[in-house]
Amino acid sequence: MYVLGIILEHFLSYYLVGNNISIILNDDSLEEPIKLNDLYLKLKEEIEQENIKIEEKDFNLFHLKLRNTYNKMNKIVFCAHSRGVLKAKIDFSGLSFLEDGKGSTFYYACYVSSDFLNEKVDNSRSWTMSDMNCAEN
């Protein structure tokens, strides 16, 4: 399942913004193929979506509880054109993971998408935080 988690996280931004993709993993060691979409649907049950406005620009935030992440960090991922472009670690006062009140641990991730971010990214899918100044546009 570890490899599945890596693959799912790689494509997570595509799923979050509503792209209709279908990925099926086949391996001789598996009894049957694994549909990545099915794994996403399980994760989707806990995703909270929030729409905010900053300087008249709309942003979509997707709050996730990643229970089987390979990164082992709380993070914010800025997405453009359905792909993660910039990842930043979030430090919760030195806590490496969080608890959900039921005794289950998770890592927090926030994926951010916006037409504003789509406009700011270059052809190499890169930008810097200084490029994100909403007030300039």
Q: Mind listing the pLDDT tens digit for each residue in 41-64?
A: 888 888 999 999 999 999 999 999
Mean pLDDT, rounded, for 54-79? 89
Give the helix/strand (H/E) hosting 39.
helix 36-44
Domain ranges of the chain: 2-136
Neighbours of 113 (CB within 10 A): 24
Give the global pTM: 0.82
Per-residue model confidence as pLDDT tens digits over 108-131: 999 999 999 998 887 776 665 555
